[in-house]
Each structure stands twice: as C-alpha cells, then as structure tokens.
Amino acid sequence: MNNPLRGLDTAGLNRRQILSLAAMAAAAVPLSACGSGPRTRQAGPTSSASSSSEVINPDRPESALFPYDEAEKLFDSLPWPTTKVPEPTSKVTVTVAIIPGQRHEVRHAQFAKFFKKRHPNIEIKVEVTPFDDFRTKYLTGAASGVLPDVMYSQFQWGQSFIKNNLYLPLDDFIAETPDFNRADFSKAALSYWERDGKLYALGTDSAPKLLFYNKGIFEKAGAKVPDASWTWDKLMEAARGLVSGTGAQKIFGFTPVPKPTSDLTATFLLAFGGRYLTADERKCVIEEPASRDVLKRWMDLLIKDKAMPDLAETQATAKVEPFTLNRGALYVGGAWNIVTLLTLPAEQQFDWSLTHVPSGPEGRFTPVLGSAFGITSKTRNPEAAWIVLNSLRSYAGHRFFLDTPPSRLSAFEENLQALKLDKAVIDTTKESLHKYGTSDGVLRLPATPKLEDLTKPIWERVMSGSLSVDEGLKQVTERVTPMLAENV
C-alpha cells in the first residue's frame, strides 16, 4: 500500500500523533499573522499619480513628460535659495523618502542630479515607498531608530508624526535663512505641520476642493451648468434630475457621498453651520440639528433618489471616482484632480470644467488639503537636510516639481498656467484657496485612522438604509466620544 504518511511511523509516532502534532504546530502560528499585506489604496491629495514602471537612468533621468535637457534648462534658470546654514565640508548623503508617481520619481532623480552641481558635497538618495505602506514603514522604522533624513507626510499624518517626535522643528533653520518667506505659504498649508508655535514641515501642494462638472451630461440633459451662484440646495435638486441609467451605464448625479471622514465638516457641514467635531477635536457634535438635518438630506438623495453611488455601485466602479469614468454629473473633489483629468488616456477624455463649491446659509467653505516634507529627528546631517529641504520646497522647487496647486503662493499662477488651464479655472482655484479655503474641520489628530474605521461600519448601515440617520449619528457619537480622549 502506498501511504504517503507511513514513512514517518518508523520514528515511533502513529498517524494520529503526527496529525495531532501538525495541527498543534499550525495552532502556534496565529501571532505571526501580522506581516505586511496588501491594502486598499487610500485617497490622498497626492495619491493620484500613477507609479512609473520605467527604470530611471541615474546618469540621465528623464521621461516623456520630463525630457532631460528641458529639465536641466529649467533647473538652471530658476532662482534657487541660499541659507547661512553651512555647507558640509565633506561628502554626505541625504536620504529623501517620497511616495511613487511618474512626476515624483523622475523629477526627484533629476533634482538630485542637478542639485549636486550647486552643492557638490551633498548626495541625494531618493527612497520610494507606496503611499499605502509609507506610514507603516517609517513608523516601524522610527521605532527601531532608523529614518531617512527628509520625509514626506500627508496632511492627516502630520500631527501624529510631530507628536511622536519624528520631525525636527524647522524654526532654527528658518532663522538662519534670511530669504525664507514664511508668508509665501498659505495659513492652511502650514497649519497641518504646526504645533505649539513651531513649524515642522514645508508643504508641497495646498489644494482646495472645487465643484467639477461633466459638460456632456449637462448638455444631454438640457440643463444649465453650475456657476458661482449655486447653493447646495440647487446642487441637490440638479443631482436628482441628472441621474439616469442603470448598472454599468448608470450616470450619478453627484459624488462623493458624505461620510464621517477627514473633511466632512469643511466640505459638507460648515456651510450649514454644522460640525462633526469641535475645533479642538475633543468633542463630537455631529448629532446637533445643523449637522443632522443636512446629513438627512444627503441620505435621502442617496437612498430615495438614488442620485449617488450606493455601496454596491461603489464596488461596481472598482472604487474609482465615477466622475473620472465619465459617469458623474457633479463632483466635489480636490484641485489635484485637475492633473488626473488632464492626463486621462485619450479614449477616456471627456468635456469637463469646474467652478466654486456651492454656498450654504452660513456661507461658502472648502477644505484645503495637501502634503509636505520635513527633516526627521533621526537625521545624521541636519544642516545638509535643511539645505536640501529649503531648495526642494522653495519657489524654485515648487516650479521645478510643478506642484498643483503649490503651497508656495508665489508659484501658484505659473504652475497652473504651465498646465495650459483656462484663466477662469485658474482664477476659481486661486479664489477658492484665498477667499474661503479652510483647514478648520479637517481631522488631523492622532486618533484619525481609528476614528474613521470605527464610524465606517455604522455609516455603511445608514447608507444601506438599515439604520436611520438619527440612530447612526447617535452611534457615531457614542463610539467616537471616548476615543477623543486620546487626542489630549
């Protein structure tokens, strides 16, 4: 008889014992089940850039978007900043941790190469880590005492990084840099990286949310496109009228569905005088009438009017924003989506434009979001790291990297003009940022990811109609309140 287990019996164990041992060995494994794994992609202001599969030539880094000769010419023409912080007297390497993206990787490689001409003793080494893995990788690195010299941060991570001493304060370096114009950054852009009067990072982009609309869908419906006079009431009414079709052909009136996530307050509630959390993020006020009433209206638009994608429809679009698939009439999204829409493949291009987000009884508000770079507390070359960071996030750096819209106000118009956008689009983006853009109401304290996870299942039940809005908000408040103590 050919028994595959039989050979083991000669060791003095019978099959029952062998099977028992195997089962027990397997039972001892659960604690090892915590390795890194695949994750769903998080939304983020700079996460829309696709990763480049090209191998970057370190001697001549370039791509179709950024030819080498043009990049070098641009770099040489820009007014790079100076600082009293001394240059290193011997060769040092400054590691810069970035997230991937066609623009980022090639541009950073070009920056590193051209930068060396101006600072021969500073070698820049770029570390690229996917957005979804970035925070995990560098927090665990910090726990073992290893960090790059200069490190990226998304707006939601900033306060957590600062609280955990991952970043060095920049104020002393800024004091040594007379040309550094702090006022060139908008207040909102700096706010995510300030704590106790100190500044810890310098922004890359600082983008307001805008109202995008699909001209083709409006034209087909014979409806008038939105403009600055629109209110949220008018938008809801229009969204009801613009929804059409079913299944894969369905056109949604509006996206996204309001949820208790990072900028719910600034995007959907402030215009009606409502808030999710108080400004210091110590108390949940989402149950109060101003917030409750407006969220009820949105859920009616979702459940009764079916004008927004439900959970199944969200999966049906593979979590890609329906607007970018030419399936959404109206969309409130960040200005960073301008680049996404401009770089859609030719066969996916459609006619779109944008305007101001609608106003409400309490006025017009839009969240301003973005990313930044800071010098880490584990850097071995803080002076050299500042020389790199100061260049990277200077007016010249913002122009070189074409940040959209840039945190540096002095580079704002030129960067948007470089994208060949209409003047009206540039003006709207600029006005949004300056006139009513706010960082108030955007979740930023350390409990943020946990808070979002905790409220998600509750809100999904509300979105599916199995839980009333009142009960959902009550449960959100009950779950969120104890957690806010962690934000002290």
Partner 1 sequence: MAASPLVRREARRFHLFALPWTIGFVFFTGGPIIVSLVLSFTRYELLSAPEWVGLDNYVQLLRDPDFWVATRNTIYFGAASATAGVVYSLAAALLLNIKLRGQAIFRTIIYMPSVISGIATALLWIHVLHPDYGLVNYLIGLLGVQGPGWLTDASWAIPGLVIMTTWTTGNAMIIFLAGLQGVPVSLYEAAHIDGAGWWSRFRNVTVPMMSPVIFFNLVVGFIGSLQAYQLILFMTDGGPANSTLVLGLYVYRYAFKYFEMGYASTIAWALFFLVIVFTVIQFGLARRWVHYEVK
Q: In this structure, are residues 156 and 367 in contact, taking their beta carbons and an 8 Å threshold?
A: no
CA proximity to 367, closest of 226, 207, 175, 258:
207
Residue 292 burial by CB count (10 A; 0-12/13-18/19+): exposed, middle or buried? middle
Both tokens of 183, joined, read 């006022």
Give the type of residue at 312: A
For partner 1, the closer of residues 271 and 451 by Cβ is 451
Could you say which of 11, 12, 24, 89 contacts partner 1 (CB under 8 A)?
24
What does the per-residue mask of binding to partner 1 show for 108-147, with x meaning CB under 8 A? ----------------------------x--xx-xx----
In angstroms, what is the minimal distance from the CB of 377 to partner 1? 10
Examine residue 221 and tell whether it contacts partner 1 (CB under 8 A): no
Q: Provide the b/e sequence for 448-463 (b: ≥16 CB within 10 Å).
A: beebbebbeebbeebb
- Give the count of residues interacting with partner 1 (CB under 8 A): 55
- What one-character-per-residue DSSP string does 234-299 give? HHHHHHHHH-B--GGG-BEEEEPPP-SSTTHIIIIIGGGT--SB-TTSSSB-TTSHHHHHHHHHHH
What does the per-residue mask of binding to partner 1 show for 143-172, with x meaning CB under 8 A? x--------------------xxx------
Q: In this structure, are residues 333 and 209 in contact, taking their beta carbons and an 8 Å threshold?
A: yes
Tell me the three state secondary structure of residue 419.
Answer: coil
Could you say which of 7, 16, 89, 346 contacts partner 1 (CB under 8 A)?
16
Q: How far is CA 231 from CA 25, 174, 357, in A?
A: 63, 43, 8
In angstroms, what is the minimal distance from the CB of 457 to partner 1? 4
Handedness of CA 268, 273, 275, 278 (dihedral sign): positive
For partner 1, the closer of residues 206 and 317 by Cβ is 317
Could you list the beta-strand ranges (E) of 376-460. 437-438
Please tell me what DSSP assigns to residue 51.
P
Examine residue 40 and tell whether it contacts partner 1 (CB under 8 A): yes
The window from 178-186, 261-269, 312-320, 420-428 that contacts partner 1 (CB under 8 A) reads: 312-320
What does the per-residue mask of binding to partner 1 show for 429-468, with x meaning CB under 8 A? --------------------xx--xx-xxx-xx--x-x--
In angstroms, what is the minimal distance from the CB of 243 to partner 1? 17
For partner 1, the closer of residues 40 and 89 by Cβ is 40
Examine residue 315 and tell whether it contacts partner 1 (CB under 8 A): yes
**Residues near partner 1 (CB under 8 A):** 1-6, 9, 14-16, 19-20, 22-24, 26-34, 36-40, 136, 139-140, 142-143, 164-166, 247-248, 311-312, 315-316, 318, 449-450, 453-454, 456-458, 460-461, 464, 466
